[in-house]
């Protein structure tokens, strides 16, 4: 590593002002800071000093995503064997089959997304931010495994350009970029987000066992009612059809533990979103209505993209509420909206994506009223003192 560092330092003047490649300084700086911790320090002014810079934060999130990625790779192979009646594959056969299927999605996500980020940084003359390192991994994990690569590329481009760069880049966007990519795919190519075949590799190309369904638990609940859904244990472990990284609540909880242990994830948002969904589910169980309201409330926590959204999407530090009290309100309302959308929207069985995106827009307003309430309380204390 010292050899590589020496080489980087040797060519650095070429990218500085006056150097031959000064216009490519952002590109050089992006690679250099990705490989090595920056050697810049604060020289004046009052700043909070901490060892957790953005690069380390992004690295922690990527590590937390690994359990979902690894299980998702295995589950791709497992669902494929079930759909096509394959009985002689080992666990490793299933894992490698799935990993090789998701690898192109990851490559396309990073190549397209980082390519746009590099170009945007060059145009603006800004440093390249590390924010897309996480987004580039999140996008493949919330997509159907059989999505065409060109659709994925278009979705990533839309999310990065319209959902992020148009607002000023990392830290300025108002919508979660990964969910923006999923929303674009959902509304532009709905057949690739709602069809049963897209969740299992190979079904979109034809074949499969007669009578086999690739429907997700939420789709089954909408079509056939509670009795046709997989068991709670199957949904908790994750051996069900669905987006690559969203099926296993166990794997997601391992990631949540990593985020909470390192202080990267917000426990306030995770807890309040869980309680909000659970509370709304219990209320609907008690009041009744359509058949979907009778699904046990805790099922909402282990099916669909709820767990993944609560841990990795709703807690996005850029698009979530920033104040302590605001995080409770933001999380609770997100959980409530997830269940409401699932139960009362017959055309769209999943509600996590839309709920989080809606609350992304509302987060600044929530923080505004929380801050204003604190100001009013302080003024009142001063007047009565």
Indicate if 176 and 319 belong to the same structural domain.
no
Indicate if 122 and 182 belong to the same structural domain.
yes
Indicate if 344 and 252 belong to the same structural domain.
no
Indicate if 80 and 178 belong to the same structural domain.
yes
Classify residue 375 by burial, with Cβ atoms within 10 Å: 0-12, 13-18, 19+. Answer: exposed
- In 3-state terms the chain splits into helix, strand, coil percentages (rounded to 5) of 70, 0, 30
Question: Which has more pLDDT, 49 or 124?
Answer: 124
Q: Is 31 helix (H, G, I), strand (E, B) or coil?
A: helix
Residue 7, domain member (yes or no)? no
Cβ–Cβ under 8 Å, residues 231 and 48 = no
For residue 108, the model assigns a pLDDT of 96
Tell me phi and psi for residue 251, to 5 degrees. -60, -40
Residue 152, domain member (yes or no)? yes
Among 102-106, 114-118, 314-318, 357-361, which is the least confidently predicted range? 114-118
For residue 12, the model assigns a pLDDT of 65
Residue 215, domain member (yes or no)? no
Classify residue 356 by burial, with Cβ atoms within 10 Å: 0-12, 13-18, 19+. Answer: buried
Indicate if 89 and 184 belong to the same structural domain.
yes
Indicate if 232 and 368 belong to the same structural domain.
no
Indicate if 326 and 381 belong to the same structural domain.
yes
Containing structural domain, residue 381: 266-385
Tokens matching residue 136 = 């580039």
Q: Helices (H) and strands (E) in the chain — how many of each? A: 16, 0
Indicate if 79 and 158 belong to the same structural domain.
yes
Matching residue, tokens 């396309």: 108
CA 158, 334, 218 angle in degrees (round to 5)?
80
Indicate if 291 and 171 belong to the same structural domain.
no
Indicate if 303 and 251 belong to the same structural domain.
no
pTM of the model: 0.85
Give the CA radius of gyration of the chain.
23
Residue 305, domain member (yes or no)? yes
Q: Is 309 helix (H, G, I), strand (E, B) or coil?
A: helix
Residue 235, domain member (yes or no)? yes
Domains held by the chain: number: 2
Report the chain's mean pLDDT, rounded to a whole number. Answer: 83
Q: How far is CA 283 from the centre of its chain?
A: 28
Residue 282, domain member (yes or no)? yes
For residue 30, pLDDT over 90 is answered with no
Residue 281, domain member (yes or no)? yes
C-alpha span between 158 and 297 (Å, rounded): 35
For residue 15, pLDDT over 70 is answered with no
Indicate if 245 and 127 belong to the same structural domain.
yes
Indicate if 292 and 382 belong to the same structural domain.
yes
Among 6-15, 29-38, 179-188, 301-310, which is the least confidently predicted range? 29-38
Residue 11, domain member (yes or no)? no
């Amino acid at each position: 590593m010292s050899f590589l560092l020496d080489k980087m330092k040797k060519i650095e003047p070429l990218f500085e002002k006056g150097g031959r490649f000064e216009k490519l300084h952002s590109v050089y700086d992006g690679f250099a800071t990705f490989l090595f911790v920056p050697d810049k320090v604060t020289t004046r002014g009052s700043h909070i000093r901490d060892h957790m810079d953005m690069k380390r934060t992004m690295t922690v999130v990527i590590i937390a995503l690994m359990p979902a990625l690894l299980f998702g790779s295995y589950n791709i192979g497992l669902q494929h064997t079930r759909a096509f009646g394959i009985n002689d594959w080992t666990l490793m056969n299933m894992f490698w089959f799935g990993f090789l299927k998701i690898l192109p999605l990851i490559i396309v996500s990073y190549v397209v997304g980082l390519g746009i980020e590099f170009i945007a940084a060059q145009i603006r003359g800004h440093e390249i931010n590390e924010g897309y390192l996480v987004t580039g991994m999140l996008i493949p994990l919330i997509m159907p495994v059989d999505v065409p690569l060109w659709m994925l590329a278009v979705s990533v481009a839309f999310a990065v350009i319209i959902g992020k760069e148009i607002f000023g880049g990392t830290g300025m966007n108002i919508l979660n970029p990964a969910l923006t990519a999923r929303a674009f795919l959902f509304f532009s190519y709905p057949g690739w987000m709602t069809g049963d075949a897209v969740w299992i590799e190979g079904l979109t190309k034809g074949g499969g066992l007669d009578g086999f369904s690739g429907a997700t638990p939420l789709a089954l609940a909408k079509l056939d009612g509670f009795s046709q859904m997989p068991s709670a244990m199957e949904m908790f472990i994750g051996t069900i059809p669905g987006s690559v990284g969203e099926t296993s609540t166990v794997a997601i909880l391992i990631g949540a533990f990593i985020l909470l242990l390192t202080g990267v994830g917000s426990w306030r948002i995770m807890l309040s979103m869980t309680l909000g969904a659970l509370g709304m589910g219990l209320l609907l169980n008690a009041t009744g209505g359509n058949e979907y309201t009778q699904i046990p409330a805790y099922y909402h926590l282990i099916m669909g993209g709820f767990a993944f959204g609560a841990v990795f999407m709703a807690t996005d530090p850029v698009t979530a509420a920033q104040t302590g009290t605001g995080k409770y309100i933001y999380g609770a309302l997100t959980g409530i909206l997830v269940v409401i959308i699932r139960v009362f929207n017959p055309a769209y069985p999943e509600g996590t994506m839309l709920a989080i995106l809606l609350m992304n827009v509302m987060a600044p307003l929530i923080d505004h009223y929380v801050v204003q309430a604190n100001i009013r309380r302080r003024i009142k204390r001063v007047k009565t003192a």
